[in-house]
Chains A and B, each alone.
Chain A
Amino acid sequence: MELAISIIVGFMILGAIYAIHARDILSAVIAGGIVGYSLVICFLLLKAPDLAIVQIVVETITLIIMVAVVLDSSRVEAYGKFDRPAWVTAGTAVLILAILFWFLKEASAPLAPFGENSMRMADAYVNGAVEKTGSINLVTGVVFDFRGYDTLGEATVLVTAVLGVLTILRIKGKR
């Protein structure tokens, strides 16, 4: 299982690198789709069918919006040189990478190995949940019953995002 997921995540990294370096913006958007659709397979392998259903539809709608935006504007990317000398850029990159990987090493030390979930909350949400919520689907039980506040907050963020889109697109700006 770990091997299969590692291979798929490797593909996701390749797709992301291609998306970042592609000359044509349209192919960059489609290569970004590789990452999203591979995530669906990862979710299925990780026994999360709810997430897979949501992710596959959301990725499709995101692609529709992005392709529509790219198609009625410019598709070429302007390339240019960096302002700073090459050794400054390379040095900064190595330094930042070293710091981030040291951080990862420190942060991943207390994590349990893959496949041994060590969170104590899981037992409380799984054992006796059917009697408490009456729902067979444990994810729905957590979303709407144990953690209803979170869902209310997320719904509020969704409404705020919609209002933001409406506001941004309605302003009559100066030409």
Chain B
Amino acid sequence: MTVYWLCFILFLTGLYGVITRRNLIKIAISLSVMEFSCFLFLALIGYKEGGVAPIVDLADPDKTYVDPLPQAMVLTAIVIGLATTAMLMAVIIRIYRKYGTFDIREIKNLRG
């Protein structure tokens, strides 16, 4: 159970970063930390004590395998995470070219 709690604390760390930081790049890093904690949680609930990786051994049918469903979900989500992070970066450099700063509070003041 400790692992689940630590995983949640990792999520909260990311949330803290998103709320308190003003630098856009740090906000992007904090968002990906939150994303990683979700991946980790999904991989954790699929684990089975004494299980092996989900590649079937045809010679030995009695093995126990870890749950393949959360792994399949996370597999696609990781690649989507890369695409969304890249999109965030594209927005961030557009903003930097227009306002010349990463600070969201200054951007709010500059408006226009």
Contacts and interface: CB of A to CB of B under 8 A. Distances in A.
A39 B101 CA distance: 32
Given A13-B9, A54-B75, A165-B90, A48 B25 contact: no
Contacts of B54: 47, 126, 137-139
A98 interface: no
B110 interface: no
Contact of B53 (A6, A17, A49, A143): A49
Given A42-B40, A69-B93, A139-B54, A47 B47 contact: yes
Interface in A112-163: 113-117, 119, 121-122, 125-126, 129-130, 136-139, 141-143, 147, 150-151, 154, 157-158, 161-162
Given A58-B78, A126-B65, A46 B43 contact: yes
Interface in B35-67: 36, 39-40, 43-49, 51-56, 58, 65-67
Q: Which of A5, A111, A129 has the most CB of B within 10 A?
A: A5
A97 B13 CA distance: 11
Interface in B1-48: 1-10, 12-14, 16-17, 20-23, 25-26, 28-30, 32-33, 36, 39-40, 43-48
B92 A69 contact: yes
A-B pairs, 9 with minimum CB distance: A115-B49, A161-B83, A138-B54, A154-B76, A142-B72, A138-B68, A122-B67, A20-B17, A32-B29
24 contacts: A2-B3, A9-B6, A9-B7, A16-B30, A25-B23, A25-B102, A39-B39, A51-B71, A51-B78, A55-B78, A66-B28, A77-B22, A78-B23, A114-B1, A117-B51, A122-B46, A138-B65, A139-B54, A139-B75, A143-B76, A150-B72, A157-B80, A157-B83, A164-B87
Interface of A: 1-2, 5-6, 9-10, 12-13, 16-17, 19-20, 25, 28-29, 32, 35-36, 39, 42-43, 46-51, 54-55, 58, 61-62, 65-66, 69-70, 73-74, 77-78, 80, 97, 100, 104, 108, 111, 113-117, 119, 121-122, 125-126, 129-130, 136-139, 141-143, 147, 150-151, 154, 157-158, 161-162, 164-165, 168-169, 171, 173
Interface of B: 1-10, 12-14, 16-17, 20-23, 25-26, 28-30, 32-33, 36, 39-40, 43-49, 51-56, 58, 65-69, 71-87, 89-94, 96, 98, 101-103, 105-106
Given A69-B92, A168-B87, 7 more contacts: A47-B66, A66-B28, A130-B56, A130-B58, A138-B68, A158-B80, A165-B83
